[in-house]
Structure 1
Amino acid sequence: MANILSVRNLSKTYQSGTSELHVLQDITFDIRKGESFAIVGPSGSGKTTLLGLCAGLDKADTGSIELCGTKLETLNGDQRALLRNEHVGFIFQDYQLLPTLTALENVMVPMELRGVKEGDVLALELMERVGLGERIHHYPSQLSGGEQQRVALARAFSNNPSILFADEPTGNLDEETGDRVVSLLFDLNREAGTTLVIVSHDMELADKCDNILRLKGGKIMEETSHP
């Protein structure tokens, strides 16, 4: 099966006062199309930085990233944004819904950016799929954390992404609500055939994935696969 994401010898350093902070050092791995992949590690291990680099939200100091057949280091900021809009979905720990838009309007945003016709029909279908068909006209402030994350799930799948990056998707949720969101995430992912990349400190969540990459101190400690 072809790789949708290939990372080679990736390093990232930040300046911290007069010293340098080596956040990632010589990271190499591949993710195949359609698989689920977890990146785990303690706080400060570099996993969120790695996710941002893989999605083209930031640029590495050294190394290369090939996402959906395109080398990110050859693109400028606008070109990376276009690639994300075409191929990438996101789910964040803090939901990142637009507060002035209703739940349905939030789900429609990626489709409107792509000029999709009848996006409201698909958005409504997705809202029904995540169990929020009766909450479409509510604003984020009128929704619980779990409901906001389900809106974010619907939004993430609205542009039919090739790959979906989820950064601590259950980090702000209680266990029961988190379990429901995870179940929906994997169900939607399976139905859509999307590649799923999850950053988490939750090993129970990571164990649901096909492969697990363990980071510590900005380095790969181990990569394991589930049969």
Structure 2
Amino acid sequence: MAKILNIQQVAKSFKGGTKKIMVLNDITFEIESGDTFSIVGPSGSGKTTLLGLCAGLDRPDSGTIILCGEDISKLNEDERAGLRNQKVGFVFQDFQLLPTLTALENVAVPLELQGAKNAKSKAMELLDKVGLADRYDHYPSQLSGGEQQRVAVARAFSNNPDILFADEPTGNLDVTTGENVVELLFNLNKELGTTLVIVTHDLELAQKTQKILKLKGGTIVSQESGKQW
């Protein structure tokens, strides 16, 4: 199968006062198209930093990141943004919905920005897929945490992404609601063939993915197979 993400010897540091703090060092792994993949590790191990690099939100200090066939370390900010808009989806722990827009409008906005025709009808189809067609006219404040995250999932799939990055997608949800959101992500992965990359503290969730990458102190301590969904 084709590699959708290829990370080779990536390192990333940040300045902390006068010191340089190494956050990631010598990170190498690959993800095949259509796979489910999780990144786990304790707080401060570099998980979210790695996710940001993989998705082209930031650049590494050194190493190579090839995302959807593009060497993103060689792209400028506008080019990386263009690649993300066309081929990448995101789901965050804190939902990141626009509070002044309805569920339908939150999902439709990315479609409208891409110049899609019938953005509203496509957004309704996506809300229907996540079981929220009857809540389309509700604002985020009128929705439960689980419903907000399902809207966020619908929005993440609005550009029919090749790869979706989920950063602690169940972190703000109770167990049952979190399981429902996870089931939704995996079902959409199967139905649409979207590669799924999850950053999580939840080892039970990680075990549902095909591959598990464990980080500690900014380095890879293991890569293993999960049980799969």
Which TM-score tier does this pair reach, normalised by the shorter chain? over 0.9
* Cα separation, 2, equivalents of 1:60 and 1:30: 16
* Cα separation, 2, equivalents of 1:166 and 1:186: 12
The aligned counterpart of 1:6 is 6
Matched length: 227
Partner secondary structure for residue 134 of structure 2: coil
The aligned counterpart of 1:77 is 77
Displacement of 1:214 in angstroms is: 0.2
5 Å matches for 1:208-219? Answer: 208-219=208-219
TM-score (norm 2): 0.97
Amino acid at match of 2:151: V
* CA offset digits 1:7-44 (Å, max 9, x no partner): 01100011111222110001000000000000000000
5 Å matches for 1:183-194? Answer: 183-194=183-194
* Cα separation, 1, equivalents of 2:195 and 2:185: 12
The aligned counterpart of 1:86 is 86
Amino acid at match of 1:46: G
The aligned counterpart of 1:169 is 169
Displacement of 1:226 in angstroms is: 3.8
Of stretches 123-132 and 173-182 in structure 1, the one that deviates more from structure 2 is: 123-132
Do structure 1's residue 132 and structure 2's residue 158 form an aligned pair?
no
Q: Is the 8 A contact 2:206 2:226 kept in 1?
A: no
Of stretches 127-136 and 40-49 in structure 1, the one that deviates more from structure 2 is: 127-136
Partner secondary structure for residue 131 of structure 2: coil
* CA offset digits 1:107-159 (Å, max 9, x no partner): 11221121111121121111112111111111111111111000001011111
Structure 1 stretches of 4+ with a deviation exceeding 3 A read none
* Cα separation, 2, equivalents of 1:152 and 1:204: 22
The aligned counterpart of 2:54 is 54
* Cα separation, 2, equivalents of 1:186 and 1:111: 23
Partner secondary structure for residue 176 of structure 2: helix
Partner secondary structure for residue 164 of structure 1: strand
Partner secondary structure for residue 133 of structure 2: coil
The aligned counterpart of 2:156 is 156
User: Which segments of 5 or more consecutive residues in structure 1 lack a partner in the other structure?
Assistant: none
Percent identity over the alignment is 65
The aligned counterpart of 1:68 is 68
Amino acid at match of 2:27: I
Partner secondary structure for residue 176 of structure 1: helix
* Cα separation, 2, equivalents of 1:112 and 1:11: 36
Partner secondary structure for residue 147 of structure 1: helix
* Cα separation, 1, equivalents of 2:73 and 2:130: 36
Alignment RMSD (CA, Å): 0.9
* Cα separation, 1, equivalents of 2:71 and 2:125: 34
TM-score (norm 1): 0.98
Amino acid at match of 1:199: V
